[in-house]
Amino acid sequence: MAGTATTGAASGSTGSGSTGHLRRDVGFWGLMFVSLGSIIGSGWLLGALTAAKVAGGASLLSWLLAAVMLGLLALVHAELGGAYPVAGGTARFPHFAFGPFAGFTAGWMGWLQAVTIAPIEVLATLSYVAHIDWVANDVTILNTDGTLTHAGLVIATVFMIIFTFINIIGVKWLARVNNVAVVWKTAVPLLTIVVLLLTRFNSSNFTAGGGFAPYGGHGIFAALPAGVVFALEGFEQAIQMAGEARKPQRDVSRAVLVAMAIGTLIYLLLEVAFIGALDPKDLVHGWANPVGAGDFGPYATLAILAGAGWLASILYIDAVISPAGTGLIYLATSARLSYALGRQRNLWGFLARIDARGIPIVSLILAFIVGELAFLPFPSWTALVGLVTSATAIMYAFAPVSLHALRKSDPDRARPYKVSGWQVISPLAFISANLIIYWGGWQATWKLSVAIVVGLILFFLTRSGLPAEERVPLEWKNSIWIWPWLIGMLIINKLGRYGDFTPGQFGGVPSLTIGDWWDSGVVVVWSLVIYYWATFIGAPKSYVQAAVAKEEDEIAAEPELHIAG
């Protein structure tokens, strides 16, 4: 395909602020490493510990369940990414299928989770670094409540500046830096797995502390939003950067599926190695503190106990590299999502401004500013992870209904990768996303509902400032299903039994009205009702084909001189 990607609105103005175009500089390995680098971050350093605290030995089932559920969503995204290779794709697919309102809602959720992850990864890095003896003796990074000190804030800001600078240099440099980081980030977990399995493995640990599943099915499900799903998220990053891929139709879907497969295998083996390496006497009274209360470096602790101090040193270095690499990528992703929203005129047009290097510079600066605000005193890493996981699940949920609707309205579209049995996989993927939202609990759901309302206020303020001829129709009749869906999930969460919890203890909403297992059944039924309603009222063939054609025309019209490599 000639020219570079543009992510111009499918059915609206491209905005007056644009001064250039995204550059197609990234090949298959770059795309795959972008997704894999997003999957392997602070989640691998903390995910196994968090999952074990919540589910015990049955945390292995949590990882398998999450892998299946996210695998279904990855398959759906892989087809959409290959068929519609545009930057910020998670916001664009529902825009094509249901109109601007749906596109904005998905894009807003995607931006919220992406723009928050970079500072979360920085906080994870500093949490590790702060507990290294030679660092703790020289500077205090964290307060006793886990928030940043003034010195910690300066160090965190330096990290964000470095992330921003690498992104400003250009997408090719971003891919190169990430490629190096991902090789390291993949090698260290694999090395850790081998060392722990060979030197310190107690098979009895898997049934200790109350049996294989000490907290039953509730624990298995509650572990997902507590860090398991967060760890495996990120496969969609190759799709977000599809507008900068050299051969997007060929490479995007392959990159997503390969990254997901590698990440799943690594995380499963890590959980096996982690549980097996625990000291059996620490599990006699349960799973509340399997490696010691307040321990921010569980694998390093286990490495020292195994007599591998050299591995502990490597793990502390990785505690900087792995989260930092993921933060670097998510800063880029959040900039491209707000860029897409700006190009669609769903938010201010100046967010779509591109510099001479083909970088969405204004959106990148916005991501830096919001990241800095996220360093203000907030809850723990685990609490923030739960919120981000639910936001990501809402974003993911738009993909299955979009795939079904676009299969109906755009049947002749070239699809380099086709999901076999999509009629079954697509609704199952939608159910999976909704179950993740539900298991995330009431606290996360109501906060995200408020965030959606805030986003819609900004959306309508932006529209009110546009000239009348640039206000594209919202296609209300095609997106009317969105509010009933979200309100229904909010009500189910309120009546359900998942909420804030401490390790080994679950405190759902006090006024429990939906029993165990029945609650998940209600989510499944509600998901199917919404799914088939949404796909029935999707945008008509004429709208979808016009929207996609406009996108293709804008891409074809761009000059070849922007292609690099």
Mean pLDDT to the nearest integer, 229-250: 75
Q: Mean pLDDT highest for which of 9-18, 74-83, 477-486?
A: 477-486
Q: Are 218 and 516 in contact (CB under 8 A)?
A: yes
Name the band, by pLDDT with cuts 50, 70 and 90, for residue 412: confident
Enumerate the β-bridge partners of residue 26: 245
Cα angle 130, 135, 139 (rounded to 5 degrees) comes to: 85
Looking only at the bridges linking them, the beta strands covering 501-502 and 505-506 are antiparallel
The angle that helices 361-373 and 150-169 make with each other, rounded to 10 degrees, is 160
For residue 65, pLDDT beyond 90: yes
Which uninterrupted H or E stretch holds 478? helix 476-479
SS3 for 148? strand
Higher pLDDT, 277 or 353: 277
Across 160-164, 168-172, 466-470, least confident range: 168-172
28-378+385-544 has which fold? Amino acid/polyamine transporter I (1.20.1740)
In 3D space, the residue among 133, 94, 148, 544 whose CA is nearest the CA of residue 346 turns out to be: 94
Does residue 523 contact residue 434 with C-beta atoms inside 8 Å? Answer: yes
Residue 256: name the closest of 277, 268, 240, 270 by CA.
Answer: 240
Closest CA to 67 of 270, 207, 254, 240: 270
pLDDT score, position 489: 94
Give pLDDT tens digits for 501-545.
Answer: 444 444 444 445 677 778 889 999 999 999 999 999 998 888 888
Neighbours of 87 (CB within 10 A): 26
Question: Which value, to the nearest 10 degrees, does the dihedral of the CA atoms of residues 179, 23, 14, 473 take?
Answer: -50
Q: Residue 553: its pLDDT value, please?
A: 67
- Domain ranges (residues) in the chain: 28-378+385-544
Query: In whole angstroms, what is the distance from residue 297 CA to residue 124 CA?
Result: 10
Higher pLDDT, 230 or 6: 230
**What does the DSSP assignment read for 203-219?**
GGGGGTTTSSSTTHHHH
To the nearest whole number, what is the mean pLDDT of the chain?
Answer: 80
Confidence grade of residue 66 (pLDDT, cut at 50, 70, 90): very high
Q: Are 48 and 270 in contact (CB under 8 A)?
A: yes
Place of tokens 């886990």: 146
Residue 495's pLDDT is 86
| Helix, strand, coil percentages in the chain from 3-state DSSP, rounded to 5 | 70, 0, 30
User: For residues 510 and 467, which has the higher predicted lDDT (pLDDT)?
Assistant: 467
Q: Give percent of the chain above pLDDT 70.
A: 82
Contacts of 397 (CB under 8 A, 6+ apart): 430, 433, 434, 437
377: nearest Cα among 45, 153, 67, 560 = 153
pLDDT tens figures, 265-300: 999 999 999 999 998 988 888 888 888 655 556 888
Q: What is the pLDDT of residue 564?
A: 28
Length of the chain: 565
pLDDT given at position 149: 81
Q: Which residues pair with 142 in a beta bridge?
A: 148
Burial of 195 per CB tally in 10 Å (0-12, 13-18, 19+): buried
pLDDT of residue 406: 95
- Condensed to tens digits (0 to 9), the pLDDT of residues 112-150 reads 888 888 888 887 777 777 766 666 667 778 776 667 788
Residues with Cβ within 8 Å of 536's Cβ and at least 6 positions away in sequence, in order, are none
* pLDDT band (50, 70, 90) for residue 422: very high
Q: Is 463 exposed, middle or buried (0-12, 13-18, 19+ CB in 10 A)?
A: middle
Specify the higher pLDDT residue, 550 or 446. 446
Angle, CA of 104, 447 and 345, to the nearest 5°: 15
What six digits make up the tokens of 310?
């050299």
Question: Residue 498 pLDDT more than 90?
Answer: no
Q: Higher model confidence: residue 64 or residue 133?
A: 64
State which amino acid sits at residue 268: L
Distance CA 247, CA 15 (A): 26
